[in-house]
């Protein structure tokens, strides 16, 4: 069994407890995490509230160096593909497709950031920085997605503080959300059922 003593498997939710519990039990049958938690927050009544809670509150619920944030429909499926080099990163999620508009996945400098996704491995250091730096919570192009907050819009700030984000190539083996030419037929460590 894969042992990840410095990683907490965690979900922060106010819906679908049984579905989250089923996913957590499945993952814990494959991986021995340092801790495994479902944080039930009855105040989570919208996607916007959830996104803000992930940005400012998630770090309060785990003490390990990293967490694996999971959802009821996204979880680990191939623990044999684990790469210990991922623990040298502060953020890794599934790769995103190339945008079809002129603003998606683009940082403030116009660079396309191809790796993000809400579910993934994050360091506690990265998760705590928005609170420590008092980063502003705001909408970007009408969206308040926490993965965009971290890996696109404020990525340069996190990188200035030493955070390391996965490359597109690293993310290909980590997770799959969208069907891309690069991940067609590829086995991945984690998977989103919605794809």
Average pLDDT of span 38-67: 96
Q: Which domains does the chain have, with CATH numbers?
A: 2-192 (3.90.550.10)
Q: Locate 56 and state its tokens.
A: 């400012």
What percentage of the chain reaches a pLDDT higher than 70? 98
**pLDDT surpasses 50 at 176:** yes
Report residue 194's pLDDT band, with 50, 70 and 90 as the boundaries: low
The C-alpha atoms of residue 75 and residue 163 are separated, in whole angstroms, by 24
- Name the residue among 76, 90, 103 with its Cα closest to residue 151: 90
Q: Assess contact for 15 and 44: CB atoms under 8 A.
A: yes
Dump pLDDT digits (tens) for 100-111.
998 899 999 999
């Amino acid at each position: 069994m894969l042992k990840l003593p410095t990683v907490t498997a965690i979900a922060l939710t106010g819906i679908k407890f049984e579905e989250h519990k089923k996913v957590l039990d499945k993952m814990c049958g494959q991986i021995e995490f340092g801790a495994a938690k479902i944080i039930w927050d009855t105040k989570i009544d919208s996607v916007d509230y959830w996104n803000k809670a992930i940005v400012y509150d998630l770090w309060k619920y785990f003490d390990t160096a990293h967490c694996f944030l999971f959802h009821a429909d996204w979880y680990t499926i191939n623990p044999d593909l684990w790469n210990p080099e991922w623990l040298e990163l502060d953020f890794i999620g599934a790769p995103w497709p190339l945008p079809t508009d002129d603003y998606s996945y683009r940082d403030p400098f116009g660079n396309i950031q191809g790796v993000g996704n809400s579910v993934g491995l994050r360091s506690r250091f990265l998760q705590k920085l928005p609170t420590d730096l008092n980063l502003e919570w705001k909408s970007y192009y009408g969206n308040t997605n926490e993965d965009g907050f971290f890996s696109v819009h404020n990525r340069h700030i996190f990188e200035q503080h030493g955070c390391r984000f996965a490359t597109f190539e690293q993310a290909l083996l980590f997770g799959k959300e969208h069907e891309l030419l690069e991940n067609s037929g590829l086995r991945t460590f984690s998977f989103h059922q919605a794809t």
